[in-house]
Structure 1
Amino acid sequence: MRDVVRPHRVAVLALPDVIPFDLSIALEVFGRVPDGAYRIQVCGTEPVVAAGPVRIGTDHGLDALADADTVVVPGRHHLTADAPDEVLAALRAAHDAGARIASICTGAFTLAATGLLDGKRATTHWVTADAFRGLFPDVVLDADVLYVDEGRLLTSAGASAGLDLCLYMVQQDHGAAAAAGAAKLAVAPLHRSGGQAQFIVRNRLPSNVIGKSTELDDVLGWIEQNAHRDLTLGDIAERAALSVRTLNRRFQAETGQTPMHWLTGVRVRHAQELLERSSSGVERIGRDVGFTSAANFREQFRRLSGVSPQSYRNTFRAAHPQER
């Protein structure tokens, strides 16, 4: 007589202000694996929780986390909203009991509030990286990857990266064939090349200075307009009317980068925009945005975005005949 295999129990946490898309990713991916491999429960502190313009009913309370094999923590719209103490306690207890806990997108904020991520690598949506580092300095944040596996603690980057993480967990549980089947039903690749780095808008000012007037406003605007030129550190210092030493100090304080690293990031962002909308060849785009050699352009583009210029174009733009 065949042994009956108990379904893997997945508890999806629905807190007030939950992001519906994050929650639905877990329901769809685990629910698409055949033969009842997963039993999914939506758990929360209230029978019905607000989720932006919709309301979501929860079938179970926090007690269901105690019996879960996997707990999924979706993101919430308001990052700084405190998770109730009983939620944090339930997550810690589930982890102590052997459960695997995975956060999707900004769900990493809730998971980090438990203290379980202290000293470990994690990721979250790149837009919220500065806020996360400020709140949880003991977590080693890597905002360039799609997901991080720290054993029984997993975190994913923004939005659809939760799909990558859930498919990865299916593969860990039931093998590549089961994960590939779930990926096909979700009309998604089982593995995406590159990481979250390719989605980041380069050289945005840190969150603590966005919206404020800074001492570098003029020179940052000037770099934006002149990045295609063969600029030197001396050129930037002269424009800012500062010594090179003072310029470096102010750039580090306001942007966390050196002036030349900032310039490279601007050039890569401009190249990304051209790769998305222009038919020019890759080498020409590199020259147009300010790189003096095709090899340096490809090296710097891959370093900052995690993929080659051509891979980036293939991902973000439909194929067009390229100019030579």
Structure 2
Amino acid sequence: MSARTDVLELKTRMSQSILGQETIVERLLLGLLANGNLLVEGLPGLAKTRAVKALAANLDAGMNRIQFVPDLLPSDVTGTEVYHTVQGRGEFQFQAGPIFNNIILADEINRAPAKVQAALLEAMEERQVTVAGTTHELPELFMVMATQNPIEQEGTYPLPEAQMDRFLMHVSITYPDEATEMDIVRLVRREAGATNGNSAPAAPIPQQVIFDARKEIDAVHTAEAVETYIVDLISATRTPERYDGDLEKWIQVGASPRGSIGLDKCSRAHAWLAGNDHVTPEDVRAVLHDVLRHRIMLSYEANADGITADEVLSELAKTVAVA
């Protein structure tokens, strides 16, 4: 089978156990295909942890969950040097932390202090950890999905904008509809009553499929007009006065070049997943909100008027035309 067929099979398997949250399933796959990390914001109980577990279970990949709490230390994430005595001789040996795995769920990342957040984000960016002067490489297949609760902010350490920028996408998920919620109740009931031995689980999809898919995505063509469109979208967040009076009122700080890079990566992955060999403006608009939601800073006036980043980006998509 082709890499795309295997990835679509992975998506189908995940969707069978995660109902009503198609967004998080697709965004997890896009993040994996684009070799980036995700920040997911949603209320408790919306299948964030379940989605990561489903990805790891159906892909030949390991997973670790790190629960971020105020007394967590950087070494609790990255690992540390531990003194061992072997045949009467003492020596320090590196004991790897939970960051050394393929898929990392960083649960409630804003519950941990800045040093711990920085340790995780450095590992995300550099794909390596340095302890006691020695550098340890992370696995080739590596992705972090960090979560945040949007309503409980007491005792939290909000991520600074410069650190938020390191996430490829900021995904926002909401409640399912009533019909889907009924299906969720029935699914959980079936899982609770399921017995072993009826059918063997399907073999996990090899990691090599993801690496092959990334090579194919690198070959997806982006026309100059689409590249110009991506740059114009980012430029509009920096100089909104050139495009629209409302945008000028609402945007205080625009997106960095990581925004352009993120739109390019995610739009190519989106096009490939749809079976296309080229990127269209629709692919760019499909990932626009998730790539830029955390990369623009709203003005005081926008916050006072209750204008959200999603509303600003929707207006941006309507204002900026394809060249």
| TM-score (norm: length of structure 2) | 0.27
Higher relative contact order (CA 8 A, sep 6+): 2
Please identify the structure whose Cα radius of gyration is greater.
Answer: 1
Instruction: Report the TM-score when normalising by structure 1.
Output: 0.27
